[in-house]
Structure 1
C-alpha cells in the first residue's frame, strides 16, 4: 500500500523545501556569481530534485517543480509484478548446446591421459 501525494504546483510549493545555490558550469559571470541553481526536497518522501541548466533562477525553479511532479508520479505508479515463466524447449536446447561446446573446448586444453 502506498500514499498518494498531490503533484500540482500549489501542493508541491507547500510540501517542498526550496533551496538556492550557485550552479557551476558554463554561463559566465551571471551564472557563477548568482544563486541560480534550485534544489527541491519533498518533506514527506525525502525525494530531492535539482535544476541547474538555465541561467535564470525562475526558469530553474519551474523545471525543478516539473521534475518533482514527474518523480512523485513515477513513485506512485503501481509496480507490475513479473510472472515467473519456464524457459522454452528451444532456449533450453540452445543453452545446453553452448555448454556442451564450452565443455569440449576445456577438455581439449587439458593434458592427455596416458
Structure 2
C-alpha cells in the first residue's frame, strides 16, 4: 500500500515491481545479483481519482509512455530493498508534484519613484561616461 495523501492510496496490485541487474561498475557481484528495481505503474488502470490521472498524463515527462505507463528504474543503492523504497518514493513524489497548483502570476507596474530612480541613475552613468571622452585644448 503506497500512501499518496490522506485520502489517496495505491494498492500493491497497481504497482508492478521487478528486479533486474543494475548497470555500471560493481565488480563480479553486478553480474550475479539483481539489485535494481524496475517499477511500472499504469495510470489508466489505477484507482487514482480522475483529476490525478489527467494531471499525470498531461505531464511531459520522459518516464511516461504514450500508453500512460510510468516506468521508473531505481539502481542507486546496493540492496534490492533500498532500491524498491527509492522507486516507490520517486513514484509518490511524481504524483504529488503533478498535483501542485502553480500560482498564476499577476503582472505588476513599476512605481513612479522607481522609474524616476532608474532614469536618474542612467543620467549619472551617462555623465560619467561622457567625461571619459577625448580631451581637446
User: Which residues of structure 2 form unaligned runs of 5+?
Assistant: 1-7, 44-56, 58-63, 65-69
Counterpart in 1 of 2:15? 13
Task: Give distance in 2, aligned partners of 1:10 and 1:101.
Answer: 68
Per-residue deviation at 1:102?
3.2
- TM-score, scaled relative to structure 1: 0.59
User: Which residues of structure 1 form unaligned runs of 5+?
Assistant: 1-5
The RMSD of aligned alpha carbons is 3.6
Per-residue deviation at 1:75?
1.0
Task: Give distance in 1, aligned partners of 2:73 and 2:109.
Answer: 43
Q: May I ask how many residue pairs the two structures share in their alignment?
A: 105
Counterpart in 1 of 2:47? none
Counterpart in 2 of 1:52? 75
- 1:26-70 CA-to-partner distances (Å, cap 9, x unmatched) read x6654x333423354555441554433321122202211111111
Task: Give distance in 1, aligned partners of 2:117 and 2:40.
Answer: 50
- TM-score, scaled relative to structure 2: 0.52
